[in-house]
Amino acid sequence: MKGQYEVFVSKDDFKFNAAHFVAYPGFRERLHGHNYRVSVRVEGDRGPDGYVVDFGDIKTAARSVCGELNERVIVPMKSSSVEIRVEDGQVAMTCEDGSSFSLPEQDCVLLPIEHSSAEELAAYVCQRIVDSMDALHTRRLSVLEVSVAEALNQEARFRVDL
Ligand code: ZN
- pLDDT, averaged per 10 consecutive residues of the chain (162 residues), comes to 93 97 94 98 94 93 97 98 97 96 98 98 97 85 96 96 92
Residue type, 89: G
Q: How far is the CA of 138 from the centre of ligand 1 (A)?
A: 36
Rounded Cα distance, 30 and 97, in Å: 12
Q: What is the pLDDT of residue 46?
A: 92
Q: How far is the CA of 53 from the centre of ligand 1 (A)?
A: 32
End-to-end Cα separation, the chain, in angstroms? 24
Q: How far is the CA of 116 from the centre of ligand 1 (A)?
A: 8
Q: What is the pLDDT of residue 1?
A: 85
Rounded Cα distance, 99 and 14, in Å: 33
Q: What is the pLDDT of residue 131?
A: 92
Does CATH number 3.40.50.10490 belong to domain 5-72+113-161? Answer: no
Q: How far is the CA of 56 from the centre of ligand 1 (A)?
A: 30
Q: How far is the CA of 90 from the centre of ligand 1 (A)?
A: 23
Q: How far is the CA of 129 from the centre of ligand 1 (A)?
A: 23
Q: How far is the CA of 28 from the centre of ligand 1 (A)?
A: 11
Q: What is the pLDDT of residue 27?
A: 93
Q: How far is the CA of 128 from the centre of ligand 1 (A)?
A: 21
**Cα distances (angstroms) measured from residue 90 to each of 70, 102, 152:** 18, 6, 33
**Cα distances (angstroms) measured from residue 44 to each of 15, 86, 104, 119, 162:** 25, 42, 42, 24, 10
Q: What is the pLDDT of residue 30?
A: 96
- Predicted TM-score (pTM) of this structure: 0.95
Q: How far is the CA of 34 from the centre of ligand 1 (A)?
A: 6
| 77 within 8 A of 112, measured Cβ to Cβ | yes
* Residue spans of beta strands (DSSP E) within the chain: 5-9, 15-20, 23-24, 27-28, 32-44, 72-76, 82-87, 90-95, 100-104, 108-111, 141-151, 154-161
